[in-house]
Structure 1
Amino acid sequence: MIYLVLSILISSSLYVIFKLFEKFKVDTFQAIVVNYIVAFSIGYLYSPVKLPIQEIPSQPWFLGACFLGFLFITIFNLMALTSQKNGLSVASVSGRMAVVIPIIFGVFLYNESVTIIKVIGILLALIAVYLTSVKKNNDKTGNSSLLFPALLFLGSGAIDTLLKYTEVNHVSEENVSIFSASIFGIAFVLGVLYFLYQLIFEKSNNINIKNVIAGIALGIPNYFSIDFLIRALKIEGFDSAILFTINNVSIVLLSTIVGLLLFKEKLERRNWIGIVIAVVSIILITKYGN
């Protein structure tokens, strides 16, 4: 249970850190790149399996780690943009509601049952993402304000699906840390390549110490948010449906409360309705959808 509690607290803190990036004018992309080398270093040193870096590509989970590394750096940037442009509640709901995607894939990959409650839950999840994302000032800009939440929803679902598939089929208990570290390491390499492209062809600014410090502050909780979640999933006798229910609902509610209290975010009635529907849909899907 302690792993789940820590995962909830740390995952919620990531949205807060992204909002602080906006306040202190941090270059989000540069900080994210630094964050990944920090997360990789922690995971590599923390791992009980001292696997040489050159042997990582030969591991059965390496291909999955490559895809996850690409998704991590892409979706992490989307999470930052959604938190900054749409608010903490929108970002957290969009990311957490993505639990419906691995459930849909589970029907095809694992021949899981399709129940009426599960279908209702999925439909409610889509409605919730829309209601929490739409505000009055969005009416002037049309549907463009929904782009980041929608992409975050789809990308987060892809991460959850692939992470669960790789963890179940290829990752042993002792390899959790090195697997997590490898994902971050691959994301770091991809980030550096894109940064070099910007530096050479787009004449972007050189990295500065403020962005490095911000990246370190992000990298530490980012690593442990994934590591603790994977460890919680491996606890025997702890039903994963209940675990995901507690995890997702808690992050949505905690992020919303922090956004209201710390950043004075304004929520309209339809946003509150969306949050309530989000909580209901997660409970339906993960706890009563089998």
Structure 2
Amino acid sequence: MAYLYLLLSSICSLTIAHLLKVTESRNLRTLNTLTVNYLVAGVFALFVGYTGALSATLSSHITVLLIFCAVVGAFFIGNFVAYSKSVHANGVGITIAAMRLSLLVPVVISIYWYAEYLNAIKIIGIIGVFGAMILLIPKKNNIKIGSISASWLLVGIFVLTGFADASLKIYEEEFSTNLNELTFMGLVFTAAFVIGLVISLFQKGKLITRQEAILGTAIGIPNLYSSIFLIYALGGISGSVAYPVVNILNVLGGTLLGLFIWDDTVTRKQWAGIGAAIIAITLLL
């Protein structure tokens, strides 16, 4: 059953990538669409995850928790904006591969902050991450997203996703005994919604169009359940098995989605980068 949950988690992640590509292809406003997504996901997570009064331990640290959730929410929405732009400019498979390589960030934080062991295999995996990134980054300096080169979006996704994933490790170590996963994710998504709403209010035009609302709602549920299904899977198999499997499924599925649905072009160099990414992911976990 655990492997079914991993497959469902991957399907949810690929659904998000596809819908963000749709958002960009229809020239809809990404931030506004994501704001609706986080409203839907946040309300649903808080409704399902609510367990009543906070524990005494958590109540004494509520300010720290809320600040932490706000910071994580900023990482989440910033990452998804960059992710949406990148799937449109760089392709689905390459963008997902860059996102999954960001596992390096929580690994390094786990080693230096929580004194986890770094063995020779993980060192090779870390070197592999940098090699894969070099191979994946396309020569698209002529393609601009605003004033940013499309190539730099992959670097931005790598960093932002890495810190977003690292925040989940911090939650696991510092807050998980007093706050369940759904409530935590609900607080993070709510913070991301507030940040997106405030920025959207300063934009010209209608706050939310009908198409943005529909796509945002459609993204919200798989966005939440990609994490929930992974949590379910972790209840049946170890993280050392679950994380490599789901990330490799995402890289392979994203590549196929880009090739067969969106006619993405992948160079030989980038195929090598995708292969190196799969190997590096396996070694890191």
Shared fold (TM-score greater than 0.5)? yes
Q: Specify whether residues 269 and 64 from structure 1 end up closer, same or farther in structure 2 by C-alpha distance, changes over 3 A only.
A: same
Unaligned 5+ runs, structure 2: none
Alignment partner, residue 5 of structure 1: 7
Q: Is 1:252 aligned to 2:257, yes or no?
A: no
Q: Specify whether residues 140 and 189 from structure 1 end up closer, same or farther in structure 2 by C-alpha distance, changes over 3 A only.
A: closer
- Deviations along 1:18-39, one digit per CA (max 9) or x if unpaired, are 1111233322111101111111
Shift of 1:174: 7.0
Shift of 1:6: 1.8
Q: Distance in 1 between matches of 2:239 and 2:86?
A: 28
Contact 2:96-2:254 within 8 A present in 1 as well: yes
What pairs with 1:268-287 in structure 2 (closer than 5 Å)? 268-286=267-285
Shift of 1:5: 2.4
Contact 2:200-2:207 within 8 A present in 1 as well: no
| 1:65 match: secondary structure | helix
What pairs with 1:65-104 in structure 2 (closer than 5 Å)? 65-104=69-108
- Deviations along 1:140-181, one digit per CA (max 9) or x if unpaired, are 569933210001001111011111211232124972211111
Alignment partner, residue 221 of structure 2: 220
Q: Distance in 2 between matches of 1:102 and 1:150?
A: 16
Q: Distance in 2 between matches of 1:63 and 1:230?
A: 24
- Length, aligned pairs only: 276
Higher share in helix? 1
Task: Give the TM-score normalised by the residue count of structure 2.
Answer: 0.89
Shift of 1:45: 1.9
Select the residue among 22, 25, 30 that pairs with 2:24: 22
Q: Is 1:49 aligned to 2:48, yes or no?
A: no
Shift of 1:263: 0.8
What pairs with 1:139-178 in structure 2 (closer than 5 Å)? 140=142, 144-172=149-177, 175-178=180-183
Kindly report the root-mean-square deviation, in angstroms, between the aligned alpha carbons of the 2 structures: 2.4
Contact 2:95-2:154 within 8 A present in 1 as well: yes
Q: Distance in 2 between matches of 1:232 and 1:62?
A: 28
The share of aligned pairs that are identical, in percent, is: 27
Q: Specify whether residues 141 and 30 from structure 1 end up closer, same or farther in structure 2 by C-alpha distance, changes over 3 A only.
A: closer
| 1:74 match: secondary structure | helix
Alignment partner, residue 121 of structure 1: 125
| 1:35 match: secondary structure | helix
Q: Which amino acid aligns with 1:229?
A: L
Q: Distance in 1 between matches of 2:232 and 2:151?
A: 33
Shift of 1:16: 0.8
Q: Specify whether residues 3 and 65 from structure 1 end up closer, same or farther in structure 2 by C-alpha distance, changes over 3 A only.
A: farther
Shift of 1:70: 1.1
Shift of 1:204: 4.2
Alignment partner, residue 179 of structure 1: 184
Task: Give the TM-score normalised by the residue count of structure 1.
Answer: 0.87
Shift of 1:230: 3.5
Q: Which amino acid aligns with 1:69?
A: G
Contact 1:61-1:179 within 8 A present in 2 as well: no
Contact 1:36-1:219 within 8 A present in 2 as well: yes
Unaligned 5+ runs, structure 1: none
Runs ≥4 in structure 1, deviation > 4 angstroms?
Answer: 139-143
Q: Distance in 1 between matches of 2:211 and 2:53?
A: 33
